[in-house]
Amino acid sequence: MTISTAPSTMRPSGHVLQDPPAPELDDQEPVTTTVARLRSAFATGRTRDFAWRERQLRAMLAMLENEEAAIAAALGEDLDRFPGAAWSADIATTRIEVRDALKNFRKWARRERHLLPLSTWPSRGFIEREPLGTVLVIGAWNFPFYLTLGPLVGALAAGNAVVVKPSELAPASSRTIKDLVAKYLDTDAVAVVEGGVEVTQELLAQGFDHCLFTGSPQTGKKIMEAAAATLTPVTLELGGKSPAIVTASANLDVAARRIIWSKLANSGQTCITTDYVIVERSVQKEFLEKLLATVEAFTEERPDGQPVINRRQFGRLTGLLSADHGGRIIAGGGADDQRCLIDFTVVLDPAHESPLMSEEIFGPILPVITVDSLDDAIASVKRGPKPLAAYLFSNSRSDHERVVRDVSAGGVVINHALLHCMSPQLPFGGVGNSGMGSYHGKWGFDTFSHLKSVVRAWARPDIPLLYPPHTEAKARIVRKVL
Ligand code: NAD
């Protein structure tokens, strides 16, 4: 890792790597057969049974605990992950969801009784959570297990049959998810369908009782469009540019460490990574010194650069650096096109209009923007679409309250990053361009449940106020009651 002031440099290579070929899917059952089989299983009512739900969740737990080696191997193959990172990023995160659901799903499913207005007296009301039916989970490649098995937890806990469609861009993970689901879960009610755009479109054309999609805002629009044809409701877990604001009162050492930690996770290919930093001018110099020292220390274990998933992403990311972004590269800037590695790169003050500052980066490049005040930082965030996450580093409570109030984002973390995603006690989702709907914990259960309003009345008393003839006297009473 070199700290440099040089422009972006591409390390030359004679040989150009090819992206992996699309997986062979000849052995795959036709989509229509799979969906029909799952619908039949749901129609028997067996997925509604609490004992069935518990068996599936316990089997998922066993899968995560027994199959760590297979999962880590697939993540190593697809994403060049260290085995330890496979555990913390994909296995442990999913396990937290499974354990929370196992502990609570019966409670979440409980009938919720409510007092009704006088006008409905003496009826009683309650909310009954019923499984939606056969649902679809479409995953992204960056955390291929967590982003498919995580939503699966809520869907199974709520009693649905589920089709899981992992990303074709992480083929070893996609194949492993398929094998593990077949080995551990009830395959008449849970199926993994592999494939890319065509297969996903074919699936959507079948119509589902819900679709939870994780991916980019651009693809999210296509998913919503395809889902509209069958009125399939959607939850869209999308991306965006998540800022980290560093104010003058922040602990700069901690801010630097936590920001770089968040950006290094999965080489910045994380939906809630710190996309860019906004720092107050009065501490910019001191912060940059700490930031660059942290970059140097934290990248020691990958001295050749950060691995990115494929040539397409590599080309996109190096393109962001070689385009005229108007900033100054103060760390990194190099890339190895043979091994798809990019140096952790820090770009100081790129132009707001540059692709680097208008597109989600999704890689190991960190722009740092300098502003005069927190007001300017907030105004700068508000110029773009609503982000998936916003991070604030500040020791001032009033700064905390300002950002929580004034920055609309999927989630906010104060003096840290990423943590809101790891907690099933909080809903996880975007807002505006970064998504719609949420999941994790009870929110995943509710996303895959219909909240059915039920009112129970009895034949007696049968109050004649509602019925004709509509006299003046009745109207007067109705006006008082309603
Ligand atoms: P993507 O949108 O390219 O693909 C996601 C899924 O959609 C894949 O399974 C793919 O096969 C399918 N797909 C792609 N094009 C399609 C089309 N035209 N019709 C139907 N299906 C299609 O996303 P990606 O590159 O896998 O992931 C990166 C994006 O996902 C980033 O924007 C990132 O921020 C976002 N993301 C969001 C979250 C979250 O939880 N909010 C998590 C991870 C990634």
Q: Are residues 211 and 67 in the same domain?
A: yes
> What is the residue whose two structure tokens read 């065509």?
198
Q: Are residues 95 and 154 in the same domain?
A: yes
Judged by average pLDDT, the poorest of 137-146, 262-271, 406-415, 466-475 is 466-475
- Residue 335 Rama label (left phi>0; alpha psi -120 to 50; beta): beta
Instruction: Please say whether the dihedral angle defined by the alpha carbons of residues 265, 261, 250 and 415, taken in this order, is positive or negative.
Output: positive
24 band by pLDDT with thresholds 50, 70 and 90 = low
Residue 460 inside a domain? The answer is: no
pLDDT tens-digit readout, 27-49? 799 999 999 999 999 999 999 99
Mean pLDDT to the nearest integer, 380-389: 97
Residue 18 inside a domain? The answer is: no
Q: Are residues 164 and 187 in the same domain?
A: yes
14 band by pLDDT with thresholds 50, 70 and 90 = very low
Counting ligand 1 atoms within 8 A of each CB, the residue from 219, 230, 310, 418 with the most, and so the one to mutate, is 219
26 band by pLDDT with thresholds 50, 70 and 90 = low
Query: 335: domain CATH number?
Result: 3.40.309.10
450 band by pLDDT with thresholds 50, 70 and 90 = very high
Query: 208: domain CATH number?
Result: 3.40.605.10
- Measured between alpha carbons, how far is 393 from 89 in angstroms, rounded to an integer? 23
Contact call for residues 479 and 467 (beta carbons, < 8 A): no
Q: Are residues 222 and 149 in the same domain?
A: yes
Candidates 95, 410, 372, 146; CA nearest to 245 is 372
Two structure tokens written together for 397: 């409570």
Separate counts of helices (H) and strands (E) for the chain: 17, 20
Given a cut of 50, is residue 1 above it in pLDDT? no
Given a cut of 50, is residue 4 above it in pLDDT? no
Counting ligand 1 atoms within 8 A of each CB, the residue from 199, 214, 316, 428 with the most, and so the one to mutate, is 214
Given a cut of 70, is residue 156 above it in pLDDT? yes
Which residue has better confidence, 19 or 210? 210
Which residue has better confidence, 22 or 478? 478
Strands, E assignment, 291-441: 306-307, 328-331, 334-336, 341-342, 345-348, 365-371, 389-393, 411-414, 435-436
Q: Are residues 205 and 97 in the same domain?
A: yes
Calculate the average pLDDT of the chain. 94
Mean pLDDT to the nearest integer, 182-201: 98
Mean pLDDT to the nearest integer, 115-125: 92
Q: Are residues 208 and 273 in the same domain?
A: no
Q: Are residues 247 and 391 in the same domain?
A: yes
User: From the CB of residue 268, how many other CB atoms can be counted at a distance below 10 Å?
Assistant: 24
**pLDDT value at residue 358:** 94
Residue 466 inside a domain? The answer is: no
Given a cut of 80, is residue 367 above it in pLDDT? yes
Q: Tell how far CA 150 is from the center of its chain.
A: 10
Residue 278 inside a domain? The answer is: yes
pLDDT more than 90, % of the chain: 89
**pLDDT value at residue 119:** 86
Structural domain boundaries, residue 306: 243-429
Residue 456 inside a domain? The answer is: no
> What is the residue whose two structure tokens read 């691995």?
307
Torsion (CA) 108, 109, 110, 115 in degrees, nearest 10: 80
Residue 9 inside a domain? The answer is: no
Q: Are residues 159 and 214 in the same domain?
A: yes
**pLDDT value at residue 407:** 98
Alpha carbon of 286 to ligand 1 centroid (Å): 37
**pLDDT value at residue 18:** 46
Residues 6+ apart with CB under 8 A from 416: 258, 391
Per the residue annotation, which of 271, 280, 360, 421 is the catalytic one? 271
- Measured between alpha carbons, how far is 161 from 174 in angstroms, rounded to an integer? 19
Active-site annotation holds for 421: no
Q: Are residues 45 and 153 in the same domain?
A: yes
User: If you ran DSSP here, which 8-state letter would residue 187 be given?
Assistant: T
**Residue closest by Cα to atom 23 of ligand 1:** 215
Contact call for residues 175 and 193 (beta carbons, < 8 A): no
Residue 297 inside a domain? The answer is: yes
Q: Are residues 147 and 228 in the same domain?
A: yes
Candidates 423, 328, 252, 229; CA nearest to 7 is 328
**Residue closest by Cα to atom 43 of ligand 1:** 271
**Residue closest by Cα to atom 42 of ligand 1:** 271
Instruction: Please say whether the dihedral angle defined by the alpha carbons of residues 213, 215, 221 and 223, taken in this order, is positive or negative.
Output: negative
**pLDDT value at residue 20:** 53
Q: Are residues 291 and 197 in the same domain?
A: no
Residue 336 inside a domain? The answer is: yes
Model-level pTM? 0.94
Q: Are residues 180 and 266 in the same domain?
A: no
**pLDDT value at residue 459:** 95
Backbone angles phi, psi at 360, to 5 degrees: -65, 130
Two structure tokens written together for 30: 């036709």
Mean pLDDT to the nearest integer, 368-380: 98
Instruction: Looking at the CA of residue 204, tell me the nearest atom of ligand 1.
Output: 20
Contact call for residues 135 and 160 (beta carbons, < 8 A): yes
- Measured between alpha carbons, how far is 207 from 231 in angstroms, rounded to an integer? 7
- How many independent structural domains does the chain possess? 2
Contact call for residues 242 and 409 (beta carbons, < 8 A): yes
Residues with CB under 6 A from ligand 1: 138-142, 147, 165, 167-169, 196-197, 200-201, 214-216, 219, 222-223, 237-239, 271, 360, 362, 388, 430, 435
